[in-house]
Amino acid sequence: MCTFLTASGQIFLKIGSGNLSFSILKLLGNFPLITGFVLYALGAIILVIALKHGELSVLYPIIAMSFVWVSFLSIIFLNEIMSLWKWAGVITIVIGISLIGRGAS
């Protein structure tokens, strides 16, 4: 859940950055940007709770799943194209996370 929230937050931050202005009123009215910050914060809170009960050496690599989520979400919401090398990277991340999870106690 943590990685999905932070990945969603990154998508909203990307969308909100298109309307970025350094005026306080415009920043407060930039709902995608604010939504991105809120989702990121919720993801961080969940991560802290998970860290309280789990092993850092296992949990932290799982954070790399946010790269996988961002890849899929950017295709859907930002119409980005995934090259063969990007897919290879995503597959490598998933395999690495699987190996780390399998080695967890």
**Per-residue pLDDT tens over the stretch 16-74:** 888 777 776 677 778 988 999 999 999 999 999 998 988 888 788 888 888 899 999 99
pLDDT confidence of residue 80: 93
Indicate the number of domains in the chain. 1
- Nearest one of 45, 84, 90 to 67, comparing CA atoms: 90
* Per-residue confidence (pLDDT) for residue 63, from 0 to 100: 84
Cβ count near 1 (within 10 Å): 10
| Three-class DSSP category at 82 | coil
Spell out the alpha helix ranges (H) of 29-83.
31-53, 56-62, 65-78
Instruction: Judge whether 19 and 48 are in contact, CB under 8 Å.
Output: no
What's the pLDDT at 81? 94
- What tokens does 47 get? 């991560």
Q: What is the pLDDT of residue 25?
A: 63
Give the structural domain span for 94: 2-102
pTM: 0.78
SS3 content of the chain, % helix, strand, coil (to 5): 80, 0, 20
